[in-house]
Structure 1
Amino acid sequence: MTTEQKQLIKATVPVLRESGVALTSHFYRRMFSFNPELKNVFNQGNQQNGRQQTALAMAVLAYAEHIDNPAVLLPVLEHIGHKHTSLDIRPEHYAIVGRHLMASIAEVLGESATPELLEAWRNAYQALADLMIGTEAQLYASQVNKTGGWTGWRPFVVKTKVIESEEVTSFHLYPADGGPVADHLPGQYLSVRVLVPQLNLLQPRQYSISNAPNQLYYRISVKRESGRELTPDGMVSNQLHTFIREGDRLDVSAPAGDFSLKTDAAKPVVFLSGGIGQTPLLSMLESLVANGSSRPIHWIHGCRNQAVHAFKGVVDYYASYHRPLEKHIFYDEVETLNETDPVYEGFVDLNRLPSDSLPTEAEYYLCGPPVFITRQYADLLALGVRKEAIHYEEFGPQLLSLN
């Protein structure tokens, strides 16, 4: 890109800040109108609730703001690359997206979209697309080079379906071809693809792997979301809970994600979760216990009440014999307080915990709703924890930028 073209891109930053979501909303409507087959690739729940449009608008704005030095965005691009490989995004998809993005810029900006501006954005998009394609090619290559690895969609059998709480059910997934499965990094996720009859579409959803690597199967633990059939909430989770039986097959993509346990450190570990956000942390916890780690572990979890508290027995069991493990549980609703198994009433509040439960030298792993992550992140910083030691995973399109 020329210096003049970069200046044109930067000149659009105020417009993107003001009307970025309007632009991306127009883009998605246009793309799905001309290429309806892509509705099978994109999460239609996130289309309906607007999270995908917002996430794309934020990404486009960030790229424009850093057009002089896009290398600062590499961690974000790596994160997106993992999402894309999990959804089987390929180079040909970038050509389709680019075509509709350029057309959307012209249609939304009208006369302001001069030929020079469109050419600048065309070059900027192609540079970004080439970078993403290269990043994703490396991720695909690393997947197939693993024992039991694959790319694209592979059929798995639901061998076991386990009810973990009133809201959460686990699915134990074994490869239908009888072959091995690639080890995952504790904290990574899978994409699962099912047919949603109400939409007559295949819909992918990403679920954290909730068990330690074992080369035999993956476990995903899915919360049944409330909501009407065609609303974003529960579009696929209800399908899994209600209609998927033991013995059924699911299309599954290879493990992906850059939120994972740092296994080369001897520092204490603090796991902080809200609701179903405990699933990737369970994989980390199980891995530490299975490997006989001597690292002090602090498990802090919050949920609505005991009835929806999944994996309570599992964590209790680990805490009973894995001495470095200390747990603190918060319930929004507490019916009775059992002295042998005390819980805190209310939302997770780190200021209510003993100071030695939050060592400043520890590595912290956070997962839960965005508001949960934001609050815990701020409280940890206030307690003197370095931001480099705080790692978090936001389910769905990335909207938080805390580090």
Structure 2
Amino acid sequence: MLSQKTIDIVKSTAPILETHGVAITTYFYKTMFEAHPELLNIFNHANQSQGRQQTALANTVYAAAKHIDQLEVLLPAVKQIAHKHRSLAIKPEHYPIVGEYLLKAIKGVLGDGATDEVIAAWGEAYGVIAQVFIDVEKEMYDAAEQQPNGWKDFKEFYIDKKVEESSVITSFYLKAKDGSPAPAYLPGQYITIRTAIPGEEFLVNRQYSLSQAPGSNAFRISVKKEADHDPKGKVSNFLHDGLNEGDTIEVSAPAGDFYLEKGSRPVALIGGGVGVTPMMAMLGTIAAEEPSRKTVFIQAARNKEAHAFGSEAASLVSQLTDGKVFTAYEEKKNDSDVCDVTGYISKDFLNEVIDSNSICYVCGPVPFMRAVVQHLTALGFDAQDVKYEFFGPAMALQA
């Protein structure tokens, strides 16, 4: 239990953290990685360079300060982060390292404003918060290991098949080297892959959604080759160009709190770009287990060449008694390209095709998700009925 004095001091820093949070977390990552370079490749370098990781951590630290006397308010966010930590094999021994460099960052950025009393209070509060994460993650580690065909941390899989789905997306079918079947998972969850990349000193980790319904002996991940921006996707490019059928990678057990909930209510699955991957797992599950459930599948792609899973999605929707599929292309390269929306998905379009009683699942690039979530909110959908998944650190979607 934290003393009231500690609670008061930590809460008093919330306005400062709201203003200087990103500066603190940027300082934190820089100094921690300099001292512990072995931790660098746990994180996505693109998210680091774009500031997403720093912003997400700053938001978490600010929320912790604001709600230090009501930590239960943070539990949903804790569980979401803990899923990612378990999938990356973050362990209790990592938390003292994070705590040390977080306190140094607070002191480094705030200077005289970070008095000994403030640092001591934050040190005590961090210990309590870290223990919450450690306890939640232990339950997740135990569950992953104890489930049928489960395991702890990472396990060797080989690439059974590589299938090109579009001009930018390739699917990888992964099978366990020991011959055991893939464990059950919830449609929408992800796995972490860990592999060595030539020129990299340490193994590199990345998380990818499972893109087919559970029940197969293999996992399927479908990876976009990130080559449009600098830094380019180090792992995605290596998967596309450096690994072949028969090659071995390490895989974590499935994780994640974004998944299809069973029930009788209508469902809208809305995926943009490679964000369609968890939607494919959900759609496949509905076709296999709930074919009478009213379902709308909406997929946005840059153009026809980048449109993955078109035939597969249409086939799955055809198995439903009340299913519809819609496609949006940002641009049409040829007049013969057929789609339902040219340009961006609008609020009016969503209002026209989605049942107002639907549970909506959204995944894609942040600008896409922000627009879709704001449209759905404007249409009157409750926040609890609009569920979304970030590929990478969570960011605010509402204006």
TM range (shorter): over 0.9
SS at match of 1:280: helix
Change (3 A) 1:90 1:58: same
Q: How does 1:59-74 map to 2 (within 5 A)?
A: 59-74=60-75
Which position in structure 2 is the counterpart of 1:258? Answer: 257
SS at match of 1:205: strand
Q: CA deviation at 1:369?
A: 1.2
| Segment of structure 1 superposing worse, 189-198 or 330-339 | 330-339
Which position in structure 2 is the counterpart of 1:44? Answer: 45
Amino acid at match of 2:225: R
Aligned counterpart in structure 2 of residue 348 of structure 1, from 345, 349, 356:
345
**Quick check: 1:194 aligned with 2:195?**
yes
SS at match of 1:84: helix
Aligned counterpart in structure 2 of residue 382 of structure 1, from 374, 378, 381:
378
Q: Show CA shifts across 1:107-154 (max 9, x none).
A: 322222222111100111001000000000011111112101112111
TM-score where L is the length of structure 1:
0.94
Which position in structure 1 is the counterpart of 2:388? Answer: 392
Which position in structure 1 is the counterpart of 2:358? Answer: 362
Output the CA distance in 2 between the equivalents of 1:241 and 1:25: 31
Which position in structure 2 is the counterpart of 1:287? Answer: 285
Output the CA distance in 2 between the equivalents of 1:388 and 1:173: 34
Which position in structure 2 is the counterpart of 1:268? Answer: 266
Structure 1 unaligned runs (5+)? none
Q: Show CA shifts across 1:305-340 (max 9, x none).
A: 11110000101222334332101111111245569x
Which position in structure 2 is the counterpart of 1:165? Answer: 166
Q: CA deviation at 1:45?
A: 2.8
Q: CA deviation at 1:274?
A: 0.8
Amino acid at match of 2:13: T
Output the CA distance in 2 between the equivalents of 1:302 and 1:182: 30
Which position in structure 2 is the counterpart of 1:221? Answer: 222
Output the CA distance in 1 between the equivalents of 2:16 and 2:199: 37
* Contact 2:369-2:397 within 8 A present in 1 as well: no
Q: CA deviation at 1:227?
A: 4.4
Q: CA deviation at 1:49?
A: 2.2
Amino acid at match of 2:291: S
* Contact 2:329-2:339 within 8 A present in 1 as well: no
SS at match of 1:31: helix
**Quick check: 1:22 aligned with 2:23?**
yes
Output the CA distance in 2 between the equivalents of 1:179 and 1:196: 26
Q: Show CA shifts across 1:191-212 (max 9, x none).
A: 1112233443322111000011
Output the CA distance in 2 between the equivalents of 1:184 and 1:321: 22
Which position in structure 2 is the counterpart of 1:90? Answer: 91
SS at match of 1:295: coil
Output the CA distance in 2 between the equivalents of 1:398 and 1:260: 16
Change (3 A) 1:336 1:324: farther
Number of positions where the alignment pairs a residue of Structure 1 with one of Structure 2: 398
Output the CA distance in 2 between the equivalents of 1:11 and 1:26: 21
SS at match of 1:333: coil
Output the CA distance in 2 between the equivalents of 1:64 and 1:302: 38
SS at match of 1:192: strand
TM-score where L is the length of structure 2:
0.95
Output the CA distance in 1 between the equivalents of 2:316 and 2:153: 36
Which position in structure 2 is the counterpart of 1:133? Answer: 134
* Contact 1:306-1:331 within 8 A present in 2 as well: yes
Output the CA distance in 1 between the equivalents of 2:272 and 2:248: 30
Q: CA deviation at 1:401?
A: 5.7
Output the CA distance in 2 between the equivalents of 1:39 and 1:361: 44
Q: Show CA shifts across 1:318-368 (max 9, x none).
A: 2334332101111111245569x553211122413573x211111110111
| Segment of structure 1 superposing worse, 26-35 or 240-249 | 26-35
Amino acid at match of 1:281: M
Q: Show CA shifts across 1:152-201 (max 9, x none).
A: 11111000000001000000000011112211100000111122334433
Output the CA distance in 1 between the equivalents of 2:265 and 2:153: 37
SS at match of 2:150: coil
Q: CA deviation at 1:259?
A: 0.1
Output the CA distance in 2 between the equivalents of 1:246 and 1:197: 18
Percent of pairs with identical residues: 40
Amino acid at match of 1:327: V
Amino acid at match of 1:78: K
Q: Show CA shifts across 1:93-120 (max 9, x none).
A: 0011112212222232222222211110
SS at match of 2:255: coil
For the aligned residue pairs, the C-alpha RMSD in angstroms reads 1.8
